[in-house]
Structure 1
Amino acid sequence: MGLLAAATVVLLVCIACLLSFATWRGRSGKGKMPPGPAPLPMLGNVLQVKPKNLAKTLQKLSEEYGPVFTVHMGSDPVVVLHGHDVVKEALIDRADEFAARGHMPIGDRANNGLGIIFSNNEEWLQVRRFALSTLRSFGMGKRTVEERIQEETGYLLEEINKTKGTPFDPTFMLSCAVSNVICSIVFGQRYDYKDKKFLALMNNMNNIFEMINSLWGQEKEHPNSNFHMKNLITTTFDLFTAGTETTSTTIRYGLLLLLKYPKIQEKVQEEIDQVVGRSRRPCVADRTQMPYTDAVVHEIQRFIALIPLSLPHTVTKDTCFREYVIPKGTTIFPVLSSVLHDSKEFPNPNEFNPGHFLNENGTFRKSEFFMPFSAGKRVCPGEGLARMEIFLFMATILQNFTLKPVIDPQELNITPTLSGTGNVPPVYQLCALPR
């Protein structure tokens, strides 16, 4: 009986696989869904797609199936866009059709469709516009924000000075510094780096980022309004999470890369000394006079590809794309790392080289392949603030300190600990020696 039961199970599995394969063959091809590996029933492409290194897995699949292909995450199909041309075509050239946010379990559970990051349709448009206009009224894009960042760099320097050249982990110090900029904009005040509630918030945001790898206006007496308190609180939290963890993680990863390549750190410091000197703090206006430092900042963001797959998009109706049809509601992954690591635009893309953003005469070289903040209608609303923060915090740290690793630079590991939704740098310590 046992053998008969086992044989029956095997037979049923085989039939299910055949049916799944037949269904897959019928749905993919020209005029249908993009091609991709055959999925297993319920399990999808679990054999081909490795969650711990999703970007590399998808790169290999793109070599076999082309720049537009389908993988199955469980039973759900996901269309992958791999390479600059298809990502640009979808997110920029056809922005309206691909602007909707796809489902993401943590976003569905935590935000329940509210806020900026995971919302859609008119609600998303209204909340995004309101957030941007409110932030602008608080000084976003104006000199007042630059002054807030410069003020916070002073507190950060004090904290680094307290280490007295001994090894320390910069994670929470950087998170507090970056978050205080948002706090000063939204709440009109900053918080001490040792404040227990503030540190708890930093810890929670750090955990949330790893799990996924003041906005106040009308209230509920306007029942059809999207500006009710729960939505505004969620939107504020979106700003804190997106505006703290992404920027502080980029800076933290950047410092690790400068520990790994001390000659690059020295060249940045030489340029800072030449353009800014030691008597004043760096400002945004210095950036145009500091092409090498600007190139290093861009190369950090390109190299680490912090959010390699972007956040998921979707289409709100059946959409013809290239020679295929993407059904309404299909999740879409525009792979940003495939653009940032394009070997034609950036020779030897897996090497950290500021020369990727420098012309032969040493001037800064712009590239339309630079998409760390995504592109199109879902581009990060805080891109301007983030770029300002990364430049000012890094330039000010290097103006005042020489960073030394606690082990031989050649032994430093710069491979991210997570390579799914987000690239998080490995834990490390550094010594900051006053210059």
Structure 2
Amino acid sequence: MELSILLFLAVLTGLLLLLFRGHPKAHGHLPPGPRPLPFLGNLLHMDRKGLLKSFLKFREKYGDVFTVYLGPRPVVILCGPEAIREALVDQAEDFSGRGPIAVVDSVFQGYGVIFANGERWKALRRFSLATLRDFGMGKRSVEERIQEEAQCMVEELRKSQGGLVDPIFLFHSVTANIICSIVFGKRFDYKDPQFLRMLDLFSKSFKLISSFSSQVFELFSNILKHFPGTHREIYKNLQEINTFIGHSVEKHRETLDPSSPRDLIDTFLIRMDKVRLGKRICLGEGIARAELFLFFTTILQNFSITSPVAPEDIDYTPQEVGVGTIPPVYKICFQPRTMDSRLRN
């Protein structure tokens, strides 16, 4: 009995010490925010529907810039276009760093143009920008690839014969094929087993990375990494993708012609450091804009689009909001246009 009482008093004393010493000293130098608890931070203040809803509520009380403790880690949140512009545009150099994302850190380990920082990131970014430019970023060659893919997309949509379809997979396929044509030097058939497997792995991993369980893992990764969870499934998926890319790199190495690079992999193998510096902005922004324009106009030229739900009743609430935003599932009809309707429009 005495041992039990002593144990209880020891635990109680420890909790009291944490309560009075658990608030970081740096809190007074950070923007205002909800008062954190020891170890848990602001977890109990969070909305169960996700971090985004919680942050929007905090914004109402503390303004566009506030501090939230994700577990024991303080995080400064920027809300609103003005605050974000001041940080990412007006002070782009100071805010060009990328914070670690615990759920994928064991795979990337600070490498890659998305997750790297410092000189490693600058060198890889210079290489990537120059390579995209060499392959005609925003020029005719890339537009030709997009136009070719747009025609393949039209043929697939015609197969629906105007019926109700979920186009998300097809849209993923056409955009992925543009990337594949630049990185691997070829596009894939939409039913290619290897292509389908890679798309499935990317889609599942992105959803898992943006899930609530991954957000919880981000808070307490030092503990949760020792237990089963979505982080292990993400690791397995990304390792399989890495293996696929590794095999492709080896095939490129065996057939490499330094005088005539075929794609980004060839260029990576030939030259890595002969390029210039840039800010942290989406490397494929120019390609993405061209894709949006050409895919959208091609669809409108060939189809009339209708939805089973009235526009004012469409629910845009995302499935998940985390590292990325997962859009809701939806269905629409692509009714092929007749020649007369094309001429009128």
Same fold by TM (over 0.5)? yes
Q: Normalising by structure 1, what TM-score?
A: 0.59
| 1:18 match | 20
| 1:255 match | none
Aligned counterparts of 2:37 and 2:326: Cα–Cα separation in 1: 31
3-state DSSP of counterpart to 1:28:
helix
* Aligned pair partner of 2:152 in 136, 152, 155: 155
> For residue 215 of structure 1, what is the amino acid of its counterpart?
I
3-state DSSP of counterpart to 2:67:
strand
3-state DSSP of counterpart to 1:77:
strand
Q: What's the CA shift string for 1:350-394, capped at 9, x where partnerless?
A: xxxxxxxxxxxxxxxxxxxxxxxxxx9221111111111112212
> For residue 415 of structure 1, what is the amino acid of its counterpart?
T
Q: Give the superposition deviation at 1:152.
A: 0.8
- The structure in which a higher percent of residues are helix is 2
Q: Give the superposition deviation at 1:10.
A: 4.8
Q: 1:48 to 1:377 in 2, by over 3 A?
A: farther
> For residue 27 of structure 2, what is the amino acid of its counterpart?
S
* Aligned pair partner of 2:126 in 114, 126, 129: 129
Q: Normalising by structure 2, what TM-score?
A: 0.73
Q: 1:402 to 1:10 in 2, by over 3 A?
A: farther
Q: What's the CA shift string for 1:101-158, capped at 9, x where partnerless?
A: 1111134122121110000111111111111111111111212211211111100000
Over the aligned positions, Cα root-mean-square deviation in angstroms equals 2.7
| 1:403 match | 305
> For residue 389 of structure 1, what is the amino acid of its counterpart?
E
Aligned counterparts of 1:68 and 1:169: Cα–Cα separation in 2: 39
In the TM superposition, 1:36-435 aligns within 5 A as 36-50=33-47, 52-213=49-210, 214-217=264-267, 377-407=279-309, 411-435=313-337
Whichever of the two has the greater Rg, that structure is 2
3-state DSSP of counterpart to 1:377:
coil
> For residue 72 of structure 1, what is the amino acid of its counterpart?
Y
Q: Where does the alignment leave 5 or more consecutive residues of structure 2 unmatched?
A: 211-263, 338-345
Q: Where does the alignment leave 5 or more consecutive residues of structure 1 unmatched?
A: 228-375
Q: 1:113 to 1:27 in 2, by over 3 A?
A: closer
Question: Quick one: percent identity of the two aligned structures?
Answer: 44
3-state DSSP of counterpart to 1:80:
strand
> For residue 81 of structure 2, what is the amino acid of its counterpart?
H
Q: Give the superposition deviation at 1:15.
A: 3.6
| 1:27 match | 26
Count residues in correspondence: 279
Q: 1:202 to 1:218 in 2, by over 3 A?
A: closer
Aligned counterparts of 2:46 and 2:172: Cα–Cα separation in 1: 32
Q: Residues 169 and 428 of structure 1 are in contact (CA less than 8 Å); yes or no, is this contact kept in structure 2?
A: yes
More displaced 10-residue stretch of structure 1: 175-184 or 407-416: 407-416
Q: Give the superposition deviation at 1:202.
A: 0.9
Aligned counterparts of 1:105 and 1:173: Cα–Cα separation in 2: 31
Q: Give the superposition deviation at 1:218.
A: 6.6
| 1:349 match | none
Q: Give the superposition deviation at 1:12.
A: 3.7
